Each structure stands twice: as structure tokens, then as C-alpha cells.
Amino acid sequence: MPENTVITPDIQFVRELKEAGGDTLKKCYQCATCSVVCPMSPDNKPFPRKEMIMAQWGMREELSADPDIWLCHNCNDCSKYCPRGARPGDVLSVMRQKVIKENAVPGFMGNIVTDPKKTLVALAIPFVLFLVVLGLTGHLKIPSGEKIVYSEFFPIRYIEVIFISAVALTGISYLISLNGFWTKMSKQNGLSYTKGFVPALTETIVEFLTHKRFEKCEVNADRKTGHLLVFYAFLGLLITTIWITYYYYVPKIHSPIPLSDPMKWLANLSALALIAGVLILIYNRTKDKGVDTKNSSFDWTFVVMILLLAVTGILTELIRLAGIASLAYPMYFIHLTFVFYTIVYFPYSKLAHMGYRTLAITYSKMTGRDVM
């Protein structure tokens, strides 16, 4: 006698998906057009049709261990051809947001950062922390020197203690989350491996560096340029941070670094690339693509935060060069708040995609599911 599978719908999860932007998921009538047109979907157990029914049933556990929602690159070709206007591409995007929240350690940080309504709370945490540190150490004032030197306002040792400890904590949390995700994914899917972890991971990283997957998109094809710019801008800013730390400790070159220094060129180029990339992404999101799609407020929050990070960084430098101390130091303070948001909240924001997507694509390559 065949075994019966009993599924208890998680109504709360369905409600959460709908509220977060997947409001059309109930329109799906399982025709599978989306799975046929999706350029990323394998022939065996294709997506996103099966994810749409899992979402309708509120299968929280199954979706949070599903590698296929991370193979999707939000090109929305499926939404274009869906006869019911169920917008499967957008629904999958919301599912990824939910997976980040489900796997977040500690859970309350996932609740705060993945909920756009709590963005002000998330920003208030570093803002108040910086105020307290500067207040307690007697630095909560505009330094009197003629030259604007940010380390006289916010000493480097305080920045190091705050950022290194916060990044170490969230870095460990992120590793725990990713480990949990990998364990659930490999346990639930139970597929046998046809390729080793290292070769599969290497292929995945090469794909990221070239953004090869984006070339398969039809509706969202021009998103590749914006995404590439943002990706390499972050890489440039990471190299800049390491470079400036080296300057500080080894040849003991301290800020302000002259504009003629190659480290400054890289920093400024990266900031400009970030602004250009984000503006392209915003344009792409708002233009009429001839298909009904909707970006979730989670996606919008990320884009706005990144834009504010880059703009406040450029303003911090320009106002310093203009010599307006009363504006320069507060702007630096605000910029540090956005830097904290971007770096320390990495495991809970849209940037967390990087780790989840890397693992899911690597797993799919190891199990022979990936079609790239």
C-alpha cells in the first residue's frame, strides 16, 4: 500500500510570504509554464512551479532547505510568461529573504534587519553606540584644530574595538547560519555527490566573478552591469580597508591620505562604481519591462542603504577638502553608521545572499543538478 504524506499548511508562513511581497502566490494554478521557460532550471524536478505549490502550502522547513530558490537569479522571465500573473520570480525573491531570516543567528537580529519597518531601529543601534562611546571618552565635540582629521574626533582605536568585535561576532553567527543551511539542505535533499566540494566551489566563484548566469536572463538582462559594478565596488572597498590598515600599522602613514595616493584612487573609484551600480539597479527596477513585477521593500531597503553608504562616504571626503569642520565631522559620524549597517549586518541583509547562493550553487554542482 502506498504511504500517505500528511502536510499541515503553515498558514502563518503563507501570510508572512504574502505580506513581504509574495502576495500573488495564491494565483498559481500549477500550469508549469514558469519551469519550462526558466533558463536556470534543470529538467529533473525543475523550479519554480514546485516552489509555488510549496509556498501555497506554507512548507516553511522544505523551502528553507531548498537549494533551487538560490539557483534563481530573479530574471523574471517566468513572471513574463505566467498566464496567471502569479509573479513566480518575485515570490522566489521573497522566499530567499525568508530563508535568511529563518537561518539567522541570533534570531532577533534576523527579525530586525530583514524587516524594512525596523530599519530605523537597526540604524539606531550603531548611532547610539557611537554617541555613548564618544560621550564617555570626551570626544563628542568638534575638534578645535585647523586641519580636519577624523581620527581626532573618533580615534582609530575605538573604531577598531567596535568594528573588530562586532564583525567577529556576526562573522561567527553567519558561519553558524550557513552551516545550519548546508546541513538542512544536504539532509533534506539526500542526493549523492558526483563532484567534490572544492572543484564545485571553484566553478561557482568563477561564475560570480564573471556574472555568467545573468547572461541567460531576458527580461532583466541589463541588471548584469549594475550588479557587476556593485560587486566589484565592494571588492575595491574591501581592498582599500586592508590597504589603509597596512598604512596605519606598517609604514605608519595616517589619515588624511593625499588624493594622489593609489589607495585613494581605488577608494574613490570604488565609491563612484557603487553609486553608478546602484543607480543602474534602481533604474532597472523602476523602468517598464513590459511585465508585471514588484520589488520587495527588503530589496529597496538594501539599495537605499548602499546608496547612502556611498554618498555619505563621498560627502565625508568633499566636505573635508572644503574645510567645513562643523559639517565634516557629523557627516563622518553618519557615514560610520552606514558602514556599520553594511558590514556588521551582512549576515542578515541582502548581502547574506552571497553565502547562501554560493553554498546552494556549489551543492547543486556537486549533485549534478546545476544546468550552467
Q: Using CB under 6 A, list all residues that contact ligand SF4.
A: 28-34, 38, 40-41, 47-49, 52, 72-78, 82, 84, 86, 88-89, 92
| Least distance from ligand SF4 to the Cβ atom of residue 29, Å | 5
Contact 131, 140 (CB under 8 A): yes
| Residue 28 vs 54, nearer CB to ligand SF4 | 28
| Least distance from ligand SF4 to the Cβ atom of residue 246, Å | 41
Q: Which residue has the cell 553608521?
A: 337
| Residue 48 vs 110, nearer CB to ligand SF4 | 48
| Least distance from ligand SF4 to the Cβ atom of residue 345, Å | 25
Contact 104, 44 (CB under 8 A): no
| Residue 28 vs 237, nearer CB to ligand SF4 | 28
Contact 66, 83 (CB under 8 A): no
| Residue 20 vs 237, nearer CB to ligand SF4 | 20
Contact 92, 72 (CB under 8 A): yes
| Residue 40 vs 328, nearer CB to ligand SF4 | 40
| Residue 87 vs 184, nearer CB to ligand SF4 | 87
Task: Tell me how far apart the alpha carbons of residues 273 and 279 are, in angstroms, rounded to a whole number.
Answer: 10
Grouping H, G, I as helix, E, B as strand and the rest as coil, residue 51 is helix
| Residue 47 vs 181, nearer CB to ligand SF4 | 47
Task: Tell me how far apart the alpha carbons of residues 341 and 347 are, in angstroms, rounded to a whole number.
Answer: 11
| Residue 32 vs 132, nearer CB to ligand SF4 | 32
Write the DSSP string, 190-256. Answer: -PPPSS-HHHHHHHHHHHHHHTGGGGG-STTTTHHHHHHHHHHHHHHHHHHHHHHHHHHHTT---SS
Q: Measuring CA to CA, how many Å separate 119 from each of 17, 301, 311?
A: 19, 8, 18
| Residue 48 vs 347, nearer CB to ligand SF4 | 48
Task: Tell me how far apart the alpha carbons of residues 255 and 239 are, in angstroms, rounded to a whole number.
Answer: 17
Q: Measuring CA to CA, how many Å separate 318 from each of 4, 99, 313, 330?
A: 67, 40, 9, 13
| Least distance from ligand SF4 to the Cβ atom of residue 54, Å | 12
| Least distance from ligand SF4 to the Cβ atom of residue 274, Å | 25
| Least distance from ligand SF4 to the Cβ atom of residue 55, Å | 10
| Secondary element (H or E) of residue 308 | helix 297-322
| Least distance from ligand SF4 to the Cβ atom of residue 86, Å | 4
Question: How close are the terminal C-alpha atoms of the chain, in Å?
Answer: 40
| Least distance from ligand SF4 to the Cβ atom of residue 49, Å | 4
| Least distance from ligand SF4 to the Cβ atom of residue 202, Å | 23
* Neighbour-count burial of 157, counting CB atoms closer than 10 A to its CB (0-12 exposed, 13-18 middle, 19+ buried): exposed
